[in-house]
Structure 1
Amino acid sequence: MDMPQKPTFQVTDPATAKPGRSYPGHTGEEALEIARAARAAFEGWRRTDIAERAALMRKAGAALRARSDEFAALMTDEMGKTLTEGHAEVEKCAGNCDFYAERAAGFLADQPVDMGGPRAKVSFRPLGTILAVMPWNFPFWQVFRFAAPTLMAGNTAVLKHASNVPGCALAIEDVFRQAGFPEDVFRTLLIPSRDVRAVIEDDAIAAVSLTGSVDAGRQVAAQAGGALKKCVLELGGSDAYLVLEDAHIPAAAEVAATARMVNGGQSCIAGKRFIVVAEVREAFEQALVGAMAGFAMGDPRQAETKLGPMQSVEARDHIHKQVEDSLAKGARALIGGEVPDKPGAWYPATVLTNVRPGMPAHDEEVFGPVAAVIEAKDEADAIRIANDSPFGLGSGVLTGDVERGERIATEELEAGMSFVNQNVRSDSHLPFGGVKHSGYGRECSAFGIREFVNIKTVLIHPEAR
């Protein structure tokens, strides 16, 4: 009988389109064995004192900081992130480790319930082994955002990372080993997407967390649901920012450009649709073009570079097709919109105006450095346009009236997160997640650590009845 052939994961440098290192993967059976080993490790890990877990998590944060140069370069090599953004990502991961090391015990403390008689409480107990299916765009942060609370809650974890960041996936496992976590508490699977279903359905897995596309979310949700397993989904976004007539236009344009260009625009919470009240549209466009022009393409390995390559030539070509299709339907490019004549996955900072329904820039998530300006008649029209989307991840309000902005952000915008006069971003202190086709469940904060626990009712009566 022929032995199953191991898959190979080939890295391609997005800046040059040249092949990099290749990594041998796991067979489907090896993946199941790893998942079952993680489930076996759960029995000891769940009983490990939370103070000991916290000490190990702090060591993981320290390991990240000590190897920041190595890990930032690895991200640049595999998915094109600038070194500057890579260093910031590593520090954010380390901070998240510290955050949960300090606060997990409080987040998971028993909560007494006054029953007016018998004693009762709510306790939070781990579920088992959680499978994480993670994307390439923040190859360390997406994983640590999941892993720190999951492990601190007493679960074990198995990671199936994106196929273009195998080195990052293995490096993350190595961080937990270096920190002193028991061997099988966190494991990485190098498997193709076709092998994920068998892992989800195996009895070793208790629940699933996925960050990725809407299509991937549908598949994983169906597979997890068929196995009666919980999942948390963080999917796509087409974040809308309202630019109201009372906004300070230069400041609003800087926020908008920052929101659009995070990670080269390759972020689910990047600002994508800028819905501008008509009377300030021209002034905002002029300011936005100036701000976006500051993101010149350059070598991602140079500290001064603000825009590196896209993650792949294929991804760049998809972005350009969305731009071309929008232009063909009447949009107009104020800056950018052309593919540079050089090897690699390069695409310039781009601003499109006259964007209307029926155009990809209006209706779809454009996962790259392309800002779409959409005109609105007034505040009510801007809110209507913002909510007229299948997505509901982040949103923003840019206004000179903070109370007005807070009202719109709180009451009107259909999104999991709404920021006033700042760009949307993830933070360990705040729940992160969306509504509608942007998924369900939350990461980060107390809400995130309680997603993968058994929220358990315990009632104690002084005598049997």
Structure 2
Amino acid sequence: MTAMHAIDVHSPRDSQLVGWLPTATPAEVATALGTARAAQPAWAATPAADRGAALRAAAAALRSRASDLATVVETETGRPFASAREGVLAGVSTLEQYAELGPVHRGRSLLGTAVDFMVPEPRGVVVALTPWNDPVAVACGLLGAAIVTGNVVVHKPSERCPHTGLLLATVLADCFPAGVLQTLVGDGEIGHALVRSPEADLVAHVGSTTTGRSIKEVSSAKLLLENGGNDPLIVDDDVDPEWAAAQAALGAFTNAGQLCTSVERIYLHKAIATQFLDALCEQAATWNEDPQPLVDVRQREFVHEQVAEAVAAGASALAGGAVPDGPGAYYPATVLSGCSGAMRVMCEETFGPVAPVQLVSSFDEAVTEACSSEYGLAATVLTASMEHAQRAWRALPVGTVKVNAVFGGAPGGAAQPRGASGTGYGYGPELLDEMTTTKVVHLGVPTVR
């Protein structure tokens, strides 16, 4: 530590110190929550159109600073500048989306001898805990949906990218009245203090399953959780193995495997195993020509531990699988064959550039294995059979099933994670419903004299 109660950030590219920031104190946590509580009634009373206009201004401000944010993201997390800038612009689009959707978010009414109507109202004070792997885009989704519906937010970005979080706060906060959006720097201790506070009406967390479970234990607030995933990829025997390998590599190696919906385990029909594995190793070699580091050395150690355990248990590293020499937190795109469901690399989230492959004898076996996880974030199926696709999406116990594409989706899409992966909608128009609570009003007809 550079100083007591501070967070050091080291470059994942060369291990040099990027900078350090003091963490919030317990008094500052209490003050932020109190300020938010005091500011919330006036913000809730602000016309919805005005809240939308403020969010539109925030989107414009963020767009004007997109390159600045991308530079800081790259410095802190190792994500390449172009990809980081895409993430920032995705955040801009999300703010713009909620600026339009928020003012038209509405309830329902029933007409009879009296009138009954349902009114969405803000929940109050939202505590948002956001991750490091796509820090701007994820934060903009939660902050935008919360603010446009009349809530106020206390935001704690990941301690792995605190400078990114503070710059985002600087860009956005001036677009809103004082107290509507506040940002605190801190580690898990500060996050724990925020979520256990009775001042928190809703806690929105995107991050690990371990943290999500700890939040459930201590918070009495409404919870919106997107936790870890262990997303399967099923490769049927009727697809082009080279195309399937390219899809697998894209899913497993993009952002060094550090995406919420990265491909974490592959179930491959043995009929095309040789061609697929050869092509996947060629893909890994291409990805390793211009490697991206993991976020830090601690994450690399975690990833390599799973790989080493798998190899010791009988898996083969056909590509990668070794910690490279030199500074930084680099880890090569890795292909493991001969994996089994008992290996941690197959049953836990790895969050690194690792493609573990388990051979199966039939599509039904692949679906059964894919359904065996406690996680329920997403899954991908590569098949030429409409029957297989239909059977798979109905059977897989996850929030999102992608057929013949590891990434993609319509604008404004939404999904609900299941099992250990969390609860509640994390994006899309439905996130506005999560950020509000419903009041039912019954207007009867009085008896008059």
Superposition TM-score tier, normalisation by shorter sequence: over 0.9
Q: What's 2:225 paired with?
A: 233
Q: Superposition pairs for residues 4-403 of structure 1, below 5 Å?
A: 7-106=5-104, 108-114=105-111, 116-178=112-174, 180-224=175-219, 228-296=220-288, 298=290, 307-402=291-386
**Aligned residue identity for 2:399:** G
Structure 1 pair 145–9 and aligned structure 2 pair: CA distance change class (3 A): same
Q: Does 1:458 align with 2:441?
A: yes
Structure 1 pair 355–119 and aligned structure 2 pair: CA distance change class (3 A): same
**Aligned residue identity for 1:270:** S
Structure 1 pair 275–44 and aligned structure 2 pair: CA distance change class (3 A): same
C-alpha distance after superposition, 1:248-268 (max 9, x if no partner): 322222221111122210122
C-alpha distance after superposition, 1:297-333 (max 9, x if no partner): 54xxxxxxxx311011111011111101100001011
Shift of the alpha carbon at 1:213?
1.3
Distance 1:334 1:118 in 2: 71
Contact 1:208 1:232 (8 Å CA) reproduced: yes
C-alpha distance after superposition, 1:26-71 (max 9, x if no partner): 2111111011111211111111111111111112111222111111
Distance 1:14 1:367 in 2: 15
Shift of the alpha carbon at 1:292?
2.5
**Aligned residue identity for 1:168:** T
Contact 2:14 2:327 (8 Å CA) reproduced: yes
Structure 1 pair 275–231 and aligned structure 2 pair: CA distance change class (3 A): same
Contact 2:225 2:426 (8 Å CA) reproduced: no
Shift of the alpha carbon at 1:446?
2.1
Distance 1:131 1:464 in 2: 46
Partner SS, residue 271 of structure 1 = coil
Shift of the alpha carbon at 1:463?
2.2
Shift of the alpha carbon at 1:177?
2.4
Shift of the alpha carbon at 1:97?
0.7
Q: Does 1:422 align with 2:405?
A: yes
Percent pairwise identity: 29
Q: Which runs of 5+ in 2 are unaligned?
A: none
Contact 2:29 2:193 (8 Å CA) reproduced: no
Structure 1 pair 287–33 and aligned structure 2 pair: CA distance change class (3 A): same
User: RMSD between aligned alpha carbons?
Assistant: 1.8
Contact 1:395 1:424 (8 Å CA) reproduced: no
Contact 2:173 2:182 (8 Å CA) reproduced: no
**Aligned residue identity for 1:113:** L
Q: What's 2:424 paired with?
A: 441
Q: If the length of structure 2 is used for normalisation, what is the TM-score? A: 0.95
Contact 2:65 2:171 (8 Å CA) reproduced: no
**How many aligned positions are there?**
446
Distance 1:296 1:370 in 2: 12
